[in-house]
Structure 1
């Protein structure tokens, strides 16, 4: 047993307790895979990260990302949350950008004033969602035939597929039956009507991970990175927009999306809620 520095941060919110929490463990090189997995399951957060020495000399640090069930090669809110924790703990990047090493390779992160943004990684899977899978999603979300107006695989390492509904209120009203969607990671998006909805966002998103300790994610960087690549490629969103997520969970997540040339950046605020040590 030994002690490790530890932080718990809130991502995609500038107000504590309104975003997506993340546990961050520093100096985790000596921890076994089994110990990391066990601690991530114990936190019961959507993700827990472990900071290690980089293996690639171009990287500033390496991170391993665990859900309550398994390890992910990439995830968005853990990327921003880990970077915030690393910088706050005195981390000094080698260049103007911070370079994170993780399962998908090197991820670029930049500072935008008080916010951080990561470069959306390439999709590992894209294209139409198979009819049988889409039928499972429709049943699981309790939707009628025709409610899903578009659907696409947007998997950048976390397995996401996304469906679009016509109206924001449909998204907020969803009461999913997770038993109908085992093994799937499902994002749901709909455009906001600024005059009617009165929100400072252009889209409302919800993210469902049936079987996980947190079956709904309150603010999701990887999903929104995948959705952004889909929407922007098809001309369904402007070059810069804001996503609202987590409202039905009592959160107020805000994800900033911006296309700069050929690059898509996903950003938001991060605040630290807990700093201390833990024994593992």
Structure 2
């Protein structure tokens, strides 16, 4: 029998049982791809990470990210949480993780209670989808979708694309994912969606944003904190504003009873708009998986 230690942490929170839970295997050497996927499905969390030696010794580690059904090229809270778990490997407070989407830099918080990551790629803005499609997926009336600033728009910066949708306060509160509508959207828009759709609803709240994320087709009916949606949203809102840089706090997970705070920044640069996201982490469990 082979034994693999793991830890779990709650990410984008300062209290246990808030934020987004993450399982981390700090030494995944010896696990096959199929075993990693099976473990991620067994934990049944939004994501689970597996840490391997880096291909380039100048970097800290190669980090593989799996959700319940597939591997991901990049994700936000897995990098923040894995950076927190591997804090003793940091050099000058920085870790560098090799991932499918590119190199991810993780900067530890000065107090050691969290981390900030930079999205591995600049903002990419994709197609717009009809408001009725977004409304159906969210289970709300079309008039709850706001389009004065932008229509529902696909965007990404290294991870899976997210459909960014501004909604009314009632639309955000009442939303519930309709799996059949998600599947109809995939069938009707194969070129735009490429077989994947996750819905990131947001509304303005003072100087910040309240958000919810649904991806039921890939096994996440709702996510309490989504860093890889927060960074494209921050970049996209900067794109719309015309400003050179901005900071934005995003509150997510309230409706799930797991309130999360994601602190984002976005800045225009030579290669486009790049964004960061950070927040706190709290350790929860330690254990071993025996295979």
Q: Does 1:179 align with 2:180?
A: yes
Q: Does 1:139 align with 2:152?
A: no
Q: Does 1:255 align with 2:262?
A: yes
Distance 1:62 1:192 in 2: 37
Q: CA deviation at 1:111?
A: 2.2
Q: CA deviation at 1:173?
A: 1.9
Matched positions, count: 267
Distance 2:82 2:229 in 1: 18
Q: Which residue of 2 aligns with 1:118?
A: 117
Distance 1:258 1:175 in 2: 29
Q: Which residue of 1 aligns with 2:248?
A: 241
The answer (yes or no) to whether the contact 1:152–1:230 under 8 Å persists in 2 is no
Rate the CA distance shift 1:16–1:96 in 2: closer, same or farther, 3 A.
closer
Q: Which residue of 1 aligns with 2:186?
A: none
Q: Does 1:43 align with 2:50?
A: no
Q: Does 1:272 align with 2:283?
A: yes
Q: Which residue of 1 aligns with 2:13?
A: 13
Distance 1:105 1:241 in 2: 24
Q: Does 1:100 align with 2:97?
A: yes
Q: Which runs of 5 or more structure 2 residues have no equivalent in the other structure?
A: 184-195
The answer (yes or no) to whether the contact 2:123–2:235 under 8 Å persists in 1 is no
Q: Which runs of 5 or more structure 1 residues have no equivalent in the other structure?
A: 194-200
Distance 2:77 2:139 in 1: 28
Q: Which residue of 2 aligns with 1:226?
A: 232
TM-align CA RMSD: 2.1
Q: Does 1:158 align with 2:151?
A: no
> Normalized against structure 2, the TM-score is what?
0.85
The answer (yes or no) to whether the contact 2:123–2:232 under 8 Å persists in 1 is no
Q: Which residue of 1 aligns with 2:83?
A: 83
